């Protein structure tokens, strides 16, 4: 506790050494006297903040394999909202990065075992006020640092279409919960594709909204410049319903710049829309030609609805992943070194969460092997050149955004596959780090650039290859989610309406948790 904060001479010498300073004995005493004044300010801070509040009592329990065979949920709940509202009667699942007061918040790592927040995230308050029932927190990848679904401390999340394949990530549990009908709606998070990638792999609708549209207050942050929350659903209409509830400024999140009068509501059909099919979104060694062909064919069918479709080129998209990479590497490292509260962001913080997350520095082995590789990469690179890569990437990100904006000045929507291939098989239990790392990072080639540029991007299921879903990604101008919905709803009708609920079958692998109802 800050109230008990004491710094010894050894603490001061060690801190100076980490900064490359070798204090002489005479300096140590001077430093100690001067630093004592700053420590007094920290003690006063603790007095002003007062004791930590107790979280409210909300019931939760671990799932069992019969009710949750694909391991979608970290915990199950039944938190009822208002008796009436636009989401009345609907069940909503929350990615386990989002604070639901009184219910554990784990972010896919055992470092946070036992942590229970005292406040609801803004999106939670809005969902409950809209009449929905929150049915659980969904499993996600370890601190969201994977595009697959096997790095969570809660175990593997399995693809409901083929359980020996990845559900993708990092919002893996949210996608599975919706695909299996365990929830009609879910909220996911997206820094590199973590809503759209699992949505595509599991055959549901997932939207990464315009940057800053949905408040991030009360949510674990990887890097504030690419943080997005968004809706996941089986139908386009329900996706729009949830976005309408959670969108809008909350006065707490400095990421937000929401236009006055914004609404995602759509009513007009797609006639008159112009769609540019981005050729650079289809190539690469990871691409499956049949996936690209299905996506192109689906968009071409929209011409019968009065949509103009043209093949276009945005050469810089091919470098989008490389431009985004330093931001996720160095941004994630900085966020973790700051224990989830990097300076300079502002907004709403969860101090008890920050203190609990700081334990990762004493227990780095509790982080996934994939995340450890990413952190070591970030640290080794920044040790050599500082944050030069991060700064350069953001500058190039503006050029990348301008390239997309130029295309969007001629076309209303850009189109490409969400994933260039269908979901991959899960690594075997004895798989080496090379295979595990490849599976974790292979999924975000098309999705990651739009986290950096902030454009809205929606993944829509358009069919399957060998029983595994294929997603079409539609990208629009900032704050023009309604335009994406216009085309997505029409294509949804073309391909036969929302996909059916995936039948939940028992697995031979005991992936689900089990436990009696618990309260905190």
In three state form, how does the secondary structure of 399-417 look?
HHHHHHHHHHCCCCEEEEE
Does an H or E element contain 73, and which?
Answer: strand 73-80
Distance, in Å, from the CA atom of 149 to the CA atom of 158, rounded to the nearest integer, reads 7
Phi then psi for residue 499, to 5 deg, are: -65, 150
DSSP-derived 3-state class of residue 375: helix
Three-state secondary-structure class, residue 464 = strand
Between strands 158-159 and 274-278, the pairing is unpaired
Phi-psi region of 297 (alpha: psi -120 to 50; beta: other; left: phi over 0): alpha
DSSP helix, strand, coil percent of the chain (3-state; round to 5): 40, 15, 45
Between the two ends of the chain, the Cα-to-Cα distance in Å is 21
Verify whether residue 170 is a known catalytic residue.
yes
Give the contacts of 76 (CB within 8 A, at least 6 positions apart).
60, 61, 62, 63, 67, 68, 135, 136
Residues 6+ apart with CB under 8 A from 59: 77, 78, 517, 518, 519
Q: Are 449 and 323 contacting, i.e. CB atoms less than 8 angstroms apart?
A: yes
Q: Which residue intervals of 4-86 are DSSP H helices? A: 9-18, 25-49
Q: Find out whether 118 and 110 touch, Cβ atoms under 8 Å.
A: no
d(CA 418, CA 322): 17
Q: How far apart are CA 516 and CA 245, in angstroms?
A: 32
Query: Is residue 194 among the annotated active site residues?
Result: yes
According to DSSP, the residues that pair with 473 across neighbouring strands are 416, 459
* Residue 279, Cβ density class (10 Å: 0-12 exposed, 13-18 middle, ≥19 buried): middle
Of the candidates 149, 170, 174, 240, the residue annotated as catalytic is 170
- Residue 71, sorted as left (phi over 0), alpha (psi -120 to 50) or beta, turns out to be left
Nearest to 95 by CA among 77, 72, 78: 72
CA 477, CA 498: separation in Å to the nearest integer? 25
CB 513 within 8 A of CB 65: no
Q: Which of 149, 174, 194, 368 is catalytic?
A: 194
- Residues pairing with 457 in the sheet: 208, 475
Catalytic residue of the set 63, 95, 125, 424: 95
Active-site amino acid positions:
95, 170, 194
């Amino acid at each position: 506790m800050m109230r008990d904060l004491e710094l010894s001479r050894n603490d001061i010498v060690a801190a100076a050494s980490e900064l490359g300073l070798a204090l002489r004995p005479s300096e140590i005493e001077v430093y100690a006297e001067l630093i004592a004044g700053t420590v007094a300010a920290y003690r006063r801070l603790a007095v002003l903040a007062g004791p930590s509040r107790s979280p409210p009592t909300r019931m939760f329990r671990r799932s069992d394999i019969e009710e949750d065979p694909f391991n979608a949920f970290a915990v199950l709940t039944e938190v009822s909202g208002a008796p009436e509202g636009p989401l009345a009667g609907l069940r909503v699942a929350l990615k386990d990065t989002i604070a639901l007061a009184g219910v554990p918040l784990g972010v896919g790592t055992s470092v946070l075992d036992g942590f229970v927040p005292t406040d609801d995230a803004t999106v939670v308050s809005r969902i409950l006020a809209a009449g929905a029932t929150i049915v659980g927190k969904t499993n996600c990848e370890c601190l969201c640092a994977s595009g697959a679904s096997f790095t969570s401390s809660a175990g593997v999340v399995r693809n409901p279409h083929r359980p020996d394949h990845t559900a993708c990530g990092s919002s893996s549990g949210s996608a599975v919960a919706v695909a299996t009908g365990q929830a009609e709606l879910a909220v996911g998070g997206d820094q590199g594709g973590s809503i759209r990638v699992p949505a595509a792999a599991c055959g549901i609708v997932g939207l990464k909204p315009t940057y800053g549209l949905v408040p991030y207050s009360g949510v674990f942050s990887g890097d504030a410049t690419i943080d997005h929350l968004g809706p996941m659903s089986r139908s386009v209409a329900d996706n729009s319903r949830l976005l309408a509830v959670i969108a809008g400024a909350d006065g707490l999140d400095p990421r937000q710049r929401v236009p006055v009068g914004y609404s995602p509501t759509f009513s007009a059909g797609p006639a008159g829309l112009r769609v540019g099919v981005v050729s650079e979104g289809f190539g690469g060694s990871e691409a499956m030609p049949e996936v690209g062909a299905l996506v192109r064919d689906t968009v071409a069918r929209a011409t019968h609805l009065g949509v103009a479709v043209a093949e276009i080129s945005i050469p810089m998209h091919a470098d989008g992943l490389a431009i985004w990479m330093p931001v996720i590497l160095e941004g994630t490292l900085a966020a973790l070194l700051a224990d989830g509260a990097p300076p300079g962001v502002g907004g709403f913080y969860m101090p008890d969460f920050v203190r609990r997350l700081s334990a990762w520095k004493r227990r780095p082995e509790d982080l996934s092997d994939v995340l450890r590789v990413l952190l070591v990469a970030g640290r080794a690179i920044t040790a050599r050149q500082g944050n030069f890569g991060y700064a350069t990437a953001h500058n190039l990100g503006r050029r990348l955004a301008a390239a997309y904006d130029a295309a969007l000045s001629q076309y209303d929507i850009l189109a490409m596959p969400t994933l260039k291939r269908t979901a991959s098989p899960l690594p075997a239990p004895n798989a080496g780090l090379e295979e595990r790392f490849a599976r974790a990072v292979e999924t975000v080639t098309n999705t990651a650039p739009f986290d950096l540029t902030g454009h809205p991007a929606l993944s829509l299921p358009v069919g399957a290859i060998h029983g595994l879903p294929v997603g079409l990604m539609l990208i629009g101008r900032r704050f023009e989610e309604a335009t994406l919905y216009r085309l997505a709803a029409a294509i949804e009708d073309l391909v036969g309406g929302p996909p059916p609920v995936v039948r939940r079958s028992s697995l031979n692998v005991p992936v689900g948790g089990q436990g009696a109802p618990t309260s905190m």
